[in-house]
Chains A and B, each alone.
Chain A
Amino acid sequence: MNLHAAPQSTTWRMLLIGLCALILCSCRGPIQSRHGEHALPVPYDNQTLPPEAFAGPMADHVATDPPVGPRGGPPGMEQGVPLAYMPAGPWAPPGMSQPWPPDEYLRDGGDRGLPAEVSEQWEVLGLELEDTIAHYDTVEGERVVEPSNRVHIYSPRFGAVRQVVSLRANEQRRRTAGIHSPMTLVGPTTVQVVADSKQNIQAERQIGTKSAVDFRTRQGDGVLSSRVGVWGFQQDLFMPYENVRVIRQGVLEGAEMAWLARGHTAAVAWTHEQAVQIILDQRAAMAETAHESIESVYTLKRPPASPRLRVIKVASTGAAGPGEEVSFTIRFDNVGNQVIGNVTIIDNLTTRLQYVDGSAQCSLDAEFSTQTNEGDSLAVRCEVADPLEPGEGGILRFRCIVR
Chain B
Amino acid sequence: MVHKLRCPTPEELLTGRRVVRTITMVTLLCLETVFAAVAQEPGVHYWHQGVMPPGAIGGRQLQRGGPLHGFFQPVQIKAPTGALVSLAESGSFEEPQKAPRRVGMLIGQVYRIRVMGIPRNPGMEVFPTIEIIDRLYTPRDQMDRFAIPVELTLADLELALQGKFVTRVIYLEDPANALPVPDDPGAQDWFEAAPGQDPLAVADALGRPVAILRLGGRLPDHAARPNEHFLYGCPPVVKYPRRAAAPAPIPSVPSPAVAEDRRP
Shortest Cβ gap from B36 to chain A (Å): 11
Given contacts A103-B172, A239-B257, A354-B182, contact A359 B252 (CB under 8 A): yes
Q: Can you give 10 contacting A-B residue pairs, CB < 8 Å?
A: A44-B106, A75-B233, A85-B71, A93-B66, A156-B173, A159-B206, A161-B171, A319-B142, A323-B185, A375-B180
Is A302 at the interface (CB under 8 A from chain B)? no
Shortest Cβ gap from A244 to chain B (Å): 9
In chain B, positions 239-264 with a C-beta closer than 8 Å to chain A are 250, 252-260, 262-263
Is A205 at the interface (CB under 8 A from chain B)? yes
8 A-B pairs with the lowest CB-CB distances in the bound complex, closest first: A41-B55, A376-B180, A322-B183, A42-B59, A237-B257, A160-B190, A85-B70, A84-B72
| Contact pick for B260, options A53, A102, A237, A318, CB 8 Å | A237
Given contacts A86-B140, A160-B170, contact A105 B192 (CB under 8 A): no
Residue of A nearest to B52 (CB): A40
Interface string of A82-93 (1 = CB under 8 A from B): 111111001101
Interface string of B196-209 (1 = CB under 8 A from A): 01011011111110
Shortest Cβ gap from B260 to chain A (Å): 6
Residues of the B chain whose Cβ atoms lie less than 8 Å from the Cβ of A33: 59
- Chain A interface size band reads 35 or more
Residue of A30, A157, A205 ringed by the most chain B CB atoms within 10 A: A157
State whether B172 touches A165 (Cβ < 8 A): no
| Contact pick for B70, options A31, A40, A44, CB 8 Å | A44
- Chain B interface size band reads 35 or more
Interface string of A167-203 (1 = CB under 8 A from B): 1000000000000000000000000000000010110
Given contacts A163-B197, A376-B180, contact A41 B59 (CB under 8 A): yes
Given contacts A42-B108, A321-B146, contact A160 B175 (CB under 8 A): no
| Contact pick for B164, options A40, A156, A166, CB 8 Å | A166
Residue of A nearest to B151 (CB): A160
In chain B, positions 45-63 with a C-beta closer than 8 Å to chain A are 50, 53-56, 58-60, 62-63
CA distance A377 to B136 in the complex (A): 27
State whether A84 touches B234 (Cβ < 8 A): no
| Contact pick for B172, options A40, A156, A229, A350, CB 8 Å | A156
State whether B56 touches A163 (Cβ < 8 A): no
Shortest Cβ gap from A233 to chain B (Å): 9
Residues of the B chain whose Cβ atoms lie less than 8 Å from the Cβ of A321: 145-146, 185
